[in-house]
Structure 1
Amino acid sequence: MTTSFAAIAEGSEHPISPDDSPARVLALLERVRATGLTVPSALLWRLCDDPSAPLTDLSTLRTVTHHGPPPSAADAARAAELFTAELIHVAVAETDLSSALSVAADEAVGPVDPAVVDAFLTALDEAVLGSMVRSLRAAGLFQGEKVAQSTDQIRAALGAPPAHHRVLDRWLRALVGNGYLTTDGSGFRAGRAIGDLDDAWQRARAAWASGLGSPTFVDYLRSNADHLDALVRGEQEATYLLFPQGRTDLADAVYRETITARYLNAAIAALVQELPRPLRVLEVGAGTGATTDAVLAAIGVAPTEYVFTDVSAYFLSIARERLPEWLKYERYDIDAAPPFEPRRFDLIICAGVLNNARNADRTVAGLVELLTPGGHLVITEPTREHYEILISQAFMMTAAEDARDADDGAMFLTRAQWLDILGETETVAVLPAEEHPLAPLGQRLFLVRRHLSAPPR
């Protein structure tokens, strides 16, 4: 049964939308001299926080009924301070979002063979690390086991500009960790020999094509390996390998067609279906619109405000041509202050974008301020080192000034580091679970909710 939200005055109902601004509702209550009020709990807390609330005459109100999760003691105290009326709470059973999202995501991808995932990761790491060694040797490095090379010598031999030093440092760490180089503190020396790179790439491609995604994804990574010398020197733009001639077919293979993309996008779509309408959505760094498409399909024709953002004018232009006209489009740089008013959105989606933030802590804090009390933030991110990224998209990424920088320039935050950043919110779900067959692929969805009693800043 649908609940009617309204102000009651002299037997008449004045409808209220959950999407109404607190100032509008307060003005309505005073104007009609309402005696009763029925609203969602989240809207009630927004009324309490609105600057105009203490100036509003609410003396005629006798009952205030709110529907939602049980209020905290702080919420109840704030409402009692504003309203002298009787406060009535109607509990609304909350869906187990974590289970709902997990079921929908699993249904979207079907059964996953852990052996295939393991075979893919083994072959891919062998191919990528071997390609790094090949580039080092092509530059005249590590031709003999006894010759030690310093970090500066390696950078100079490869012709790497300063902007790429961080990526090369991660190469060296990965190669030492896997035995292809050794180090005793005085420099780096050659380690174990690389295998047949063509065979490794072929095995990775075959495993990936066995139910994990389009082989185009592995072809894209191999193309980066083939251009690795030029990428390191800055003579080849990594962006052009991902978007050749401005096409998006390769990007679709990376962001839309992989098994992890399908899993995560299905989970986000399921979240949207579970949330009440009307819904105010902000998508941050929406890029090619792979997640956008999944979300819009879930929204259907329900009344919604959807703001599609990206830092790139190119992606915004493509989105305007391809997506529905009712969407709003804004340029948003995640390293700058958000260009939106606080507490505007019920849902904020960040699909694979926050690894490009200079300081993820600062960016997330700003995004949480944009959420309504009880609003949700969903983030999808890699949560481990991905060697294939070190030969491709790492050359497009912003240097971090957060926990990644403290971790010898890591490209991605770990699961634990993300949960620490999100500590001021309520964790609703982290998917897939550690025992899930997709977990080794190292992608996670974090769903958190802003506390209902979150004070305005």
Structure 2
Amino acid sequence: MKLSVNTLLVDVSGHSPLWHLPPTIDLGEHRLAPARLLAELERQQPEVVLMDIEQLERLLAFPGLALSDLSHLRHLLFVAPTPGHTALAKRAAAQFACTVRGYTYLDDQWQALDSLQTEHEHSCQRALAHPAVSAAALDGQVLFVVPHPCSPTLVDDHLDVTAAAMNQQMDDQQLAQAVQLDQQLAHAALLSMLYGLDRCGLLPAPLENVAASLANAGIGPGQRALVARWLDVLQAQGLLRRDGVQLYPTVAADTWSLEALEQAWAKLAPAWANNTGGHGTIDYARDNARALPALMRGERAAVHLLFPEGRTERAAALYRESLAAQYQHQAVAHWVAAWAARQSHGAPLRVLEVGAGTGATTQAVLPALAKAGVALDYLCTDVSRYFAEQAVARHAHWPWVRHGVFDIDRPALEQGRTTQAWDLIVAGGVLNAARDTDRTLATLYALLKPGGWLVFSEPTREEFWVMASQAFMLEQAADERQHGSSTFLDLAQWQAALARTGFQGNRSLPGADHTLAPLGHRVFVAQVPHQRLSREALAAHLQAPGLRIELPEYLPEPSTLSQWASLSAAKDLP
């Protein structure tokens, strides 16, 4: 629609414009430099001016505005693409000493921004009066509402069906061998820590002024917290003992020599390959053990060992190879497929996968979902654009799969993601990388619809070989893990974190009596309560067309809220 004073007055008032308008300039289709625009305004002396918001902003920023004579101006109208801009209108009114009103084209008609803002402010007040709302804030046409927590209720998570299916799929004798091999791998990793400490001159190890001692030994600043944790773990495992203010090894030096470690890896490799069908994990752990002194000093980047020459084959094997990993992927895939089959048919089920990485979990879940025979919209994401782009070709034969980037450490709205948009979120072995587990869980909780599910797999006990390899790549946690010598939350800590967030259910596999239980690799399922306030219920209560509603996990400072309001949520649409 053409932007003109007459058009605007007709659409706003509903009547034909007056024939005898005061002197007017319509700048709706013209772009003039601020200096020339001011000259035209002084020459023509209009009483009414129409311009777009960009012209107004440029004019207000022009230093020569204060020197211009615009005393003839009575009304300034500006057009904006979105509601809001109240502060801009007030600033312009003070600068021009006239009436300033903004308009936007919304719901097929022109609407005054100030009246629209007032209506939306009333909606914010009505939202705050809702018994299920704990906080609300308005920015333009976006209303942010934080719902009250819901009391958890009993929920049927259908995990027992998945557990029975997994018991039929995997050989118990092979699983028992996998546990023994994992213990051997853990012992070899602990001995490699002794080797690294010795090569860096840290045996006997200090108990006083540990940070200073590590610095004096040349341990890199980013590696000191990890190496200090090694000392705690080696004590707990009985490989270091305290004598005065130092820690001494309890095993002979020849057990952690490079030659002894090479023999241990050579013995472990064929048994591991026979059990799992691959050797990537042992190759990776061995290469890290050889490089530990350089890794500890920060002379070598750990990422190059996981992705040699930028290749992803080793990382892919690492997340697929062990029987514990195979159990996790198959259990997640079985549960997700059964969940999809139980849903009522209608709109496509919306599934978000976070931290897809090399696609180990995705590779198991997508074929299972395809067999469920339901309409799907599956958004596969990772924090790395490289991984997200690589996945496009792998999933080309599933037209209902989309790809994108998502960072579990950042609020969803900051990334342009719509709250309460997903029926299910899948996270395979990624949540342990979160800096703050509670904050990340709250972000995922806000993304799910009421009744939506989170299914994820995680280690729940220390992995010593990870402490001597991948841990060099992990950032220092900002949650309860920073207070203890642990890379991962344990089972009780995960259950507590899920409950604090508001999830209900919170059971996991395998059961305590399962052969793989000692390894601590678990699959969790948790649900957002159905009674949680939904966008649809709140919209029906407010009856405010044109108002966009978001339900984040918290309300940030106003500047951040404005940033969230300005971001488009179009990337969440199929």
1:189 maps to which of 248, 257, 261: 248
Structure 1 gap segments, 5+ residues each: 1-50, 55-73, 76-93
Between 127-136 and 415-424, the greater mean CA deviation after superposition? 127-136
Deviation (angstroms), 1:108:
4.0
Q: Give, as a single letter, the amino acid of the residue that structure 2 aligns with 1:303.
A: A
The answer to whether the aligner puts 1:343 opposite 2:420 as a matched pair is: yes
How big is each residue's C-alpha offset from its partner over 1:322-375, in whole Å with a ceiling of 9 and x where there is no partner? 222542222111111013222111110111111111100011011011111211
Quote how far apart the aligned CAs of 1:105 are.
2.9
* 4+ residue runs over 6 A deviation: none
Which secondary structure state, in structure 2, belongs to the residue aligned with residue 211 of structure 1?
helix
Do the aligned residues in 2 keep the contact of 1:139 with 1:157 (CA within 8 Å)? no
Is it true that 1:303 corresponds to 2:375 in the alignment? yes
Q: Would you say the 8 A contact 2:241–2:249 is kept in 1?
A: yes
Instruction: Please list, as runs of the form range in 1=range in 2, the aligned pairs for 1:274-423 lying within 5 A after superposition.
Output: 274-275=338-339, 276=343, 277=345, 278-300=348-370, 302-324=374-396, 326-338=400-412, 339=415, 340-408=417-485, 410-423=486-499
Residue 293 of structure 1 aligns with an amino acid whose one-letter code is: Q
How many angstroms apart in 2 are the aligned matches of 1:289 and 1:326? Answer: 16
Relative to structure 1, the CA distance from residue 281 to residue 185 in structure 2 (aligned partners, 3 Å threshold; closer, same or farther) is farther
C-alpha spacing 1:407/1:428, structure 2 compared with 1 (3 Å): closer
Aligned partner of 2:178 in structure 1 is: 117
Query: Which secondary structure state, in structure 1, belongs to the residue aligned with residue 515 of structure 2?
Result: coil
In the alignment, the residues of structure 2 paired with residue 185 and residue 381 of structure 1 have an alpha-carbon distance, to the nearest angstrom, of 38
Deviations 1:16-41 (A, max 9, x none): xxxxxxxxxxxxxxxxxxxxxxxxxx
Identity of aligned residues (%): 39
User: Letter of the aligned partner of 2:355 in structure 1?
Assistant: G
TM-score by length of 1: 0.74
Quick one: distance in 2 between partners of 1:271 and 1:308?
Answer: 18
Give how far 1:187 is off.
Answer: 3.4
Deviations 1:309-334 (A, max 9, x none): 11111101211232225422221111
- How much is the aligned-residue C-alpha RMSD, in angstroms? 2.7
User: Quick check: 118-127 or 289-298, which moved more?
Assistant: 118-127
My pick for the range that moved more, 254-263 or 283-292, is: 254-263
Instruction: Check conservation: 1:109, 1:262, Cα contact below 8 A.
Output: no
Letter in 1 for 2:492: A
Question: Of 523, 535, 539, which residue of structure 2 is paired with 1:445?
Answer: 523
Contact 2:376/2:400 (<8 A) preserved: no
Could you tell me whether the CA contact under 8 Å between 2:295 and 2:301 is conserved in 1? yes
Residues 152 and 96 of structure 1, relative CA distance in 2, 3 Å threshold: closer
Match runs of 1:91-102 below 5 Å: 97-102=158-163
Does the aligned pair in 1 maintain the 2:420–2:448 contact within 8 Å?
yes
Secondary structure of the 2:245 match is coil
Relative to structure 1, the CA distance from residue 157 to residue 117 in structure 2 (aligned partners, 3 Å threshold; closer, same or farther) is farther
The AA in structure 1 aligned to 2:395 is L
Corresponding residue pairs, total: 366
Gaps of 5+ in 2: 1-126, 131-149, 535-550, 552-574
Give the structure 1 partner of residue 235 of structure 2. 176
Measured in 2, the distance between the counterparts of 1:116 and 1:323 equals 34
Q: TM-score, normalised by structure 2?
A: 0.59
Q: Distance in 2 between matches of 1:138 and 1:186?
A: 20
Kept after mapping to 2: 8 A contact 1:106/1:263: no
> What is the correspondence of 1:198-277 to structure 2 with a 5 Å cutoff?
198-275=262-339, 276=343, 277=345
1:8 equivalent in structure 2: none
**SS of residue paired to 2:464:** coil
Aligned 8 A contact 1:108 1:263 in 2: no
Aligned to 2:544: none
Q: Residue in 2 aligned with 1:427?
A: 505
